Structure 1
Amino acid sequence: MDGNPDAVPDAVPDAVPDAVRFERVTKRFGDNTVLDGLDLSVGRGERVTLIGPSGSGKTTILRLLMTLERVTEGVILVDGLPYSHTPSGSDGGKLVPASERELATRRRRVGMVFQQFNLFPHMNVLENVVEAPVHVLGESREAAEAHARDLLGLVGLDDKIDARPTRLSGGQQQRVAIARALAMRPEILLLDEVTSALDPELVAEVLDVLRDIARDTEITLLCVTHEMGFARDVSDRILMFDQGRIIESGAAAQLLDAPEHERTRSFLRSVR
């Protein structure tokens, strides 16, 4: 998109579009600029980890993709099509902010696992995973339960389907939250500091589940974490953020072992 932020991107014949593309995306909260003209592409099936100090804009990227926040300037594309915006007019030459209804439909393509588990305490584990596919996707309860059982097996909780969340450890609750996000069959999975609310001894069990998902599925993964060992294991690419901008990007081993930017080196020393 050249010069005009409202222009619809030209199609590239025979090209496979990125799973996610941020084009000159700015996000402000009042006078505070959290993202500053961000250009970011994530390929289909790619695993990208965002690192950097608190307040550098990492979680805001995930919240924009979940449509929990709206873009101030620029546009987000998913599979080459406007996601944050929608074409206006018969020629489709101008983009305007998408309506709430359009955003609700589009966000079904994206799943997110939050820092807090946010499980329904009055439902058992199976019901927590089944609820959204039945009521949001319109799946039959039988099909949703079959898929949920498979997912709970994937996260190692097939023996806990009848338990209430209050009877589970924090690590088990977070694994239920991961299964719940996957139950919506997302094309893109967002992970926002998913171990930060856990006791240290529970972190490993959740990270092991996520490593298995990264290894065994083709899902596109966008992750915010301070767990550098996990970032090394699952990431195709790591992006270092500071003050709303990407200051360094590279393959996991290259960026973690031989960062070029002093700010990256300083940050990595602080989290190791």
Structure 2
Amino acid sequence: MAPTDSATEERTPTGGTTPPLIRFDRVVKRFGGVTVLDELDFSVAAGRNVTLIGPSGSGKTTILRLLMTLIRPDGGSITVDGDNLTHMVRRGKLVPADEKHVRPIRKKIGMVFQQFNLFPNMRVLRNLTEAPVRVLGMDRDEAEIRARELLEMVGLADKADAHCAHLSGGQQQRVAIARALAMRPKVLLLDEVTSALDPELVAGVLDLLRDIAVSGDVTLVCVTHEMGFARDVSDQVLMFDAGRVVESGPPEKIFSDPDHQRTRDFLRAVR
């Protein structure tokens, strides 16, 4: 069975619609004999923050990994900002996208992982400037100015010259968020970004992400088990189970009066 269509096209002032920033069209992903995404139709409008919830193994992180091109779908297509991420035209035929095609599209997407994935041999400032200089071709002085602005935003202006290994887990995760934003992405993917943190460090990182969410500067797609955070930052919440969207809607509906019994059971278990 095809999953619930969770498209979120936006109305324009003239009454038309704008294409979604992200669109999954009947996307299938299998690992061995297990279907993780089952003909998934899913879209996110620009400026709309979307949170994916559901049990482990339901396909949430797979969506993020597909968007980062860490894995490829087994069926369907993915579009980002009007560009096909999974396919390209060659000699008049639609074929799987190669690295040259994917590279400029991938620049529009940033991701913050469960583990911080910082370069431990580099100081904090260089962690933020390396990709903008090498990937975006940004002037190094400009990249450093941008990096220092971001470090101030995440409360770590005094750590620019520190080695990442000397930072606490919460500080490293804030550096990772700043590093993702340094690439000026249109989409920021967040994959259980507090799961590796000690409980006393979680609140500071979530507060920072709330500030980013309300700024409207980037579209967030979050995977989280922090239901309070999901309620605060989301314009739309999608409940996943067995590779399908079983329910979607605004957070006040999903968390207060869900329609689907599977959603009610899941929320009861995680609260």
Give the TM-score normalised by the residue count of structure 1.
0.92
Q: Secondary structure at the match of 2:64?
A: helix
C-alpha distance in 2 between matches for 1:88 and 1:103: 14
Listed as ranges, the gaps of 5+ residues in structure 1 are 1-13
Summarize the alignment of residues 193-232 of structure 1 with structure 2, pairs less than 5 Å apart. 193-232=192-231
Q: Secondary structure at the match of 1:159?
A: helix
Distance 1:180 1:168, change over 3 A: same
Alignment pair present for 1:187 and 2:189: no
Q: Secondary structure at the match of 1:111?
A: strand
Q: Secondary structure at the match of 1:213?
A: helix
Q: Secondary structure at the match of 2:55?
A: coil
> 1:236 is matched with which residue?
235
> 2:96 is matched with which residue?
97
The number of residues matched between the two structures is: 257
C-alpha distance in 2 between matches for 1:36 and 1:113: 25
Summarize the alignment of residues 1-272 of structure 1 with structure 2, pairs less than 5 Å apart. 15-90=17-92, 94-272=93-271
**For residues 28-83 of structure 1, what are the alpha-carbon distances to aligned partners after superposition, in whole Å with 9 as ceiling and x for unaligned?**
11211110000001001110000000000000000000000101100001123311
User: How big is the shift at 1:122?
Assistant: 1.4
Q: Secondary structure at the match of 1:104?
A: helix
C-alpha distance in 2 between matches for 1:59 and 1:227: 15
Q: Which AA in structure 2 matches 1:171? A: G
Q: Secondary structure at the match of 2:262?
A: helix
User: How big is the shift at 1:15?
Assistant: 4.1
Q: Which AA in structure 1 matches 2:53? A: I
User: How big is the shift at 1:105?
Assistant: 2.4
CA-based RMSD of the aligned residues comes to 1.3
Q: Secondary structure at the match of 2:196?
A: coil
C-alpha distance in 2 between matches for 1:37 and 1:179: 34
How many percent of aligned residue pairs carry the same amino acid? 65
C-alpha distance in 1 between matches for 2:221 and 2:52: 8
Q: Which AA in structure 1 matches 2:77? A: V
Asked if 1 retains the 8 angstrom alpha-carbon contact of 2:83 and 2:105, the reply is: no
Q: Secondary structure at the match of 1:186?
A: coil
C-alpha distance in 2 between matches for 1:77 and 1:106: 9
**For residues 11-34 of structure 1, what are the alpha-carbon distances to aligned partners after superposition, in whole Å with 9 as ceiling and x for unaligned?**
xxx642100000000011121111
Give the TM-score normalised by the residue count of structure 2.
0.92
> 1:6 is matched with which residue?
none
